[in-house]
Structure 1
């Protein structure tokens, strides 16, 4: 790989700006992450996108908010605007566990050091900038801003908060992927249009005075949701908002959303259409160094970068629509796939890296096996309001062919410097079961499964059935556990046929809305019967912009407005956890008492038979669930699978 100079990165200091020969900056971006110039890191993507539009851009990574705030002044005022983002993860998920304990490490900081990212970082940065430079517009974006764009429940403060535009005092919010709205914003600013006039840009949100006339747009319809003040007083009405928000966020032709917030009005403009192949290729083909800024060389490795260093992201978006996941709220439910040529070009770039040993850690995306999948008849998708394309059943209009993905894997493996390419992202196992995925050719599904198992897995294949209870799974927008049984049958058959000796690792969630203690007992009994002994468990973490979080806070399902129970107290959550560890001596008496009390001796006999026959089950220790309360949902597969790179957020 060619020798890099500091000037190959976006400048981060006044000295580096001078090295570029610049007298003035157009945009200064403040980020909660350390600066890694890589297409998997949102702040770097935004910086490079703005640069590609002809702007002089600098980035201030992890500015200190605990001193005289000189980091916010050291580069002066930009010509166009400031930009602020909390980073690749919501800062509260980065800083705290599901039990609200402060984390020991920050994956997006050198050496994993904590304390470099403030809580609610986007708001903190934006307010400082507005105080110091009140005449300079502030544009916020990234996952934190995107998922907090409307009235939302904040788990960490246990409060209902207004749009982040209110708390941050920012002038505009870009939600979702930023390439398309930023292009239009920059084009208009370059033409001399004042920033304050930019109120009709798709995929942005602004706050206006409640008596101010709405920006005119001849082709947009409006929908007004319940005001923030009413939401504070009425949880059921708050819940009713979410159905509108989620459906409009996933439409190809959405309405503009309006919400009163005090003496102001929130205006959320409709999203852009899904990025075309040429557009997403252009974003990934920008001149990234693919490395952390040299300023970190002596501070230690950045864990998040080490995980994705030799990985390839092949698409954006997810049509799963899981109730606990925010991918579709941020990236959209429609898949934007890169061309095979663009992907192979990146593979070649990675293969030329000095420390590359021939192993790609991941070829994937938010879900590994959704590449190139889209509607067969576009006009049907144009009218669709469903939040999921595969729940409760796979849409008959969805092309679920795995052939392009199988061919992509094979093309990657033909590269002379690739010894093995792994699939570290989560695979939707249900889409590989013909009984569920009736749109696909069973032989094609078998070919993909066999390709993955024989060439792209190192010992373990990790999938996420999430639960065994059909009512809970229905609320999760996940298929019946029956399909996991069917997938395991296919897995076992290929495992035996190819003499692979692979392990199947299922992921599960406890304390999810609608999950009762009996459901967890059944989960433990059923997985034990299948030969799994689970060692750790993911506790449900309420994060903004999900159905499950709305239920957690309000007690109502936003689509039916029917009361829905959620385990909320520490004791309730601990009780659900205990069933995962039925084999531990300290839990056995508690389990006996609990199941006897509810009359479920049938489950008790399965879990704790008097003859302890479970010890004779040779497969009992074959599967170990490798995530815990300390691992945020969108990072858990990354941690469990060495080198995995893609984010799945809940």
Structure 2
């Protein structure tokens, strides 16, 4: 019979366990669904015979919760949850968010800032010699020294701040089993220096050979932005399992060593991960966890992204090589959804980071990995790029034909340029005809080519051609469906001229975004390195960065220039850039003159 992992000592004892092998400390509420990293890691461990208890959102103000199950035989596994705890807590303006979608009833306040560090400190207080292994998005993207937006400074590796023994980075199904089996065989954690997908601390480099890259020291990058940019670029070039080298970051008296990233999962391994006995919902100790809504009736079909947008951390965390589940695996999961009493006949999404990527970008990637210094889609599509939607089209049709399924939607993000580059319109027509609910959301992000260049997004002309084709196919298929563009303000490279250019475009297409996303500098992205250093690490040339709250507010206001509350900011921005031609009663004007 399927059941949740033990969350109390009583439940652990009921299973006949006197001691767990691992205690998983989680910054999220306990949701046993494969869209939640904690569920995957704990179920994979369970499938390999390990006893795992779940300590979700412990009270970090005392050590009592951390002693709930006693000291685990093999170690504590610590994660902040599905989202970096600082992103979870604070908006880009550094205001505290009122909601936490990963907590009971969406309440905030159930986890600390910098959750991984705080949890590790409490574990050390409870059990000084316990083995502590950190992982998840917060640890993964902070594995080496990194710029921290909230402190506005360069922080050292999270391994140092947390005093953990080992850091897992990237997707960890393979790493966690290698770690668990090594610990189970009696190898002490300080000797686990050879595992892909891990970062460790050492005073001795003699055991790693000569094929490694020595990065600038923490002291150097903390005090020199050029050194920071150069260090980050080396990390950026070494995120692929096949092509990467070991990275070594010196500190005073020791080193932080990053091993090779994990290899991509095989399709069988990926299928096996999603076939585990998940409860597919939140633990009954909660009333309601809002985050379940987005994923409850959705299917994850792929992992990784070769789009490599500069503001996205996927390159650092999941990698650029696409991994896919088989049709059989997805159909089996869909049949399970159909049996859910709350299922109304609609599969809300079939996708992943990018829904319409269903194979590696080219044949070379399958054996040699992604090119370290080339992008598959930017600035133009690589000549070796395979553009093929036939497998995805077939998958959607198979799912749509299941008894009990009324409609299958695609909502997780269509890469519009990849779709446009497909000379076969079969999928485009299938998407428009059967898999859109009135509107398709796509992410051009901006319209100024200068900004798009810094984002790693295709030029404006590609998006405009896509829009033209989308409208034409809708008309041919007798559909009245809209495009909703996601747009971003204040990304590095975006000045007021670029923001005004974007406002004029929005005027011309008669669209005003309901919400505006300001660029959010988070660890592990090329764009964040640009934001901090004012340099593009790829060529070390200066990049314009909007830093003041006033200028950021003006860029946001320009995207919503029709809102009366934004009038003064828009007026000031237009005056600053000597664009008084956009103030007046003409149809091309953004705002009227002041009375």
TM over 0.5: yes
Instruction: Give the CA deviation at 1:587.
Output: 4.3
Alignment match, 2:51: 56
Q: Structure 1 residue aligned with 2:20, among 22, 25, 38?
A: 25
1:375–1:14: structure 2 CA closer, same or farther, 3 Å change rule?
Answer: same
> Please, which of 376, 393, 410 is the counterpart of residue 389 of structure 1?
376
Is the 1:333–1:387 contact (alpha carbons within 8 Å) kept by the matching residues of 2? no
Assess, with a 3 A threshold, how the Cα gap between structure 1 residues 393 and 611 changes in structure 2: closer, same or farther. Answer: closer
Contact 2:148 2:522 in 1 (8 A): yes
| Cα distance in 2 for residues equivalent to 1:591 and 1:32 | 40
Alignment of 1:340 onto 2:327: yes
SS in structure 2 opposite 1:215?
Answer: helix
Query: Any idea what SS the aligned residue of 2:293 has?
Result: helix
Deviations along 1:472-523, one digit per CA (max 9) or x if unpaired, are: 1011100011111111111111221222211110011001001010101111
Find the counterpart in structure 2 of residue 580 from structure 1. Answer: 559
Task: Answer yes or no: is 1:227 the counterpart of 2:212.
Answer: no
| Alpha-carbon distance between aligned partners in 1 of 2:565 and 2:27, rounded to the nearest angstrom | 42
Q: What corresponds to 2:546 in structure 1? A: 567
CA contact (8 A) 1:321 1:387 kept: no
CA distance in 1, matches of 2:445, 2:221: 31
Deviation at 1:39, TM superposition (A): 0.5
Residues 251 and 385 of structure 1 are in contact (CA less than 8 Å); yes or no, is this contact kept in structure 2?
Answer: no
Larger displacement relative to structure 2 (577-586 or 393-402): 577-586
Whether the 8 Å contact between 1:247 and 1:387 is mirrored in structure 2 is no
Q: What residue in structure 1 maps to residue 259 of structure 2?
A: 269
Alpha-carbon deviations, 1:209-258, whole Å to 9, x = none? Answer: 2xx244346xx720010110111111111111111101101352311000
Distance 1:12 1:595 in 2: 58
C-alpha distance 37-572 of structure 1, shift in aligned 2 (>3 A): same
Match of 1:249 among 220, 239, 244: 239
Distance 1:510 1:187, change over 3 A: same
Q: 1:610 pairs with 577, 585, 589, which one?
A: 585
Q: 251, 259, 277: which is aligned to 1:287?
A: 277
Unpaired runs of 5+ residues, structure 1, are 616-650
The correspondence for 1:323, drawn from 291, 310, 326, is 310
1:643 equivalent in structure 2: none
Give CA-to-partner distance per residue, 1:273-320, whole Å, 9 cap, x none: 211111111111111111111211xx3x21111221111000110111
Aligned ranges 1:75-474 → 2 under 5 Å: 75-209=69-203, 212-216=204-208, 221-250=211-240, 252-296=242-286, 299=287, 301-378=288-365, 381-382=368-369, 384-386=371-373, 388-433=375-420, 437=421, 440=422, 442-443=423-424, 446-474=425-453
Deviation at 1:198, TM superposition (A): 0.7
Q: Which runs of 5+ in 2 are unaligned?
A: 591-595
* Cα displacement (A) at 1:612: 4.0
Cα distance in 1, alignment partners of residues 295 and 6 from structure 2: 23
Question: 1:14 is matched with which residue?
Answer: 9
- Normalising by structure 1, we get a TM-score of 0.88
- Deviation of the 1:596 alpha carbon: 4.8
Paired with 1:572 and 1:592, the residues of 2 have a C-alpha distance of 13
Cα distance between partner residues in 1 of 2:92 and 2:378:
27
Worse-superposed segment, 478-487 or 584-593: 584-593
Question: Does the aligned pair in 1 maintain the 2:438–2:480 contact within 8 Å?
Answer: yes
Contact 1:123 1:167 in 2 (8 A): yes
C-alpha contact 1:258 1:267 (8 A) present in aligned 2 = yes
**Structure 1 residue matching 2:536: 3-state secondary structure:** coil
Q: 1:621-649: CA deviations, max 9, x gaps? A: xxxxxxxxxxxxxxxxxxxxxxxxxxxxx
Q: Deviations for 1:141-196, whole angstroms, at most 9, x for unmatched residues?
A: 00000000011011111121000000000000000001111122122223322222
1:526 and 1:293, CA in 2 relative to 1: closer, same or farther beyond 3 A?
Answer: same
Q: Give how far 1:456 is off.
A: 1.3
Q: Distance in 1 between matches of 2:577 and 2:98?
A: 39
Whole-Å separation in 1 of the counterparts to 2:80 and 2:511? 39
Q: CA deviation at 1:69?
A: 2.5
1:494 and 2:473 correspond: yes
- TM-aligned CA distance change 1:501 to 1:609, over 3 Å: farther
Is the Cα–Cα contact under 8 Å of residues 250 and 387 in structure 1 kept in the other structure?
no
Partners of 2:240 and 2:369 within 8 A in 1: no
When the two chains are superposed, the root-mean-square deviation of aligned CA atoms in Å is 1.8
Please state how far the C-alpha of 1:70 moved relative to its aligned partner. 1.0
Q: Note if 1:506 corresponds to 2:494.
A: no
Cα distance in 1 between the residues matched to 2:50 and 2:16: 14
1:535 matches 2:514:
yes
Find the aligned partners of 1:334 and 1:524 in 2 and give their Cα distance.
Answer: 36
- What SS is found at the alignment partner of 1:465? strand
Quote how far apart the aligned CAs of 1:360 are.
0.9
1:354 shift after superposition = 1.7
TM-score, scaled to structure 2: 0.96
Partner of 1:625: none
Q: Deviation of residue 90 (structure 1)?
A: 0.3
Instruction: Look up the SS of the partner of 2:552 in the other structure.
Output: helix
SS at match of 1:78: coil
Return closer, same or farther for 1:364/1:573 CA change in 2, 3 Å cut-off. Answer: same
Out of 8, 30, 38, the position equivalent to 1:35 is 30
User: Quick one: higher RCO (CA 8 Å, sep 6+), 1 or 2?
Assistant: 1
Deviations 1:67-87 (A, max 9, x none): x32110010011111110000
When residues 277 and 590 of structure 1 are mapped into structure 2, their CA distance, relative to the original with a 3 A threshold, is closer
Cα distance in 2 for residues equivalent to 1:542 and 1:364: 26
401-410 or 574-583: which moved more?
574-583
Shift of 1:26: 0.5
Q: Does the CA contact (< 8 Å) of 1:374 and 1:398 recur in 2?
A: yes
Is the contact made by 2:166 and 2:189 (CA closer than 8 Å) also made in structure 1?
no
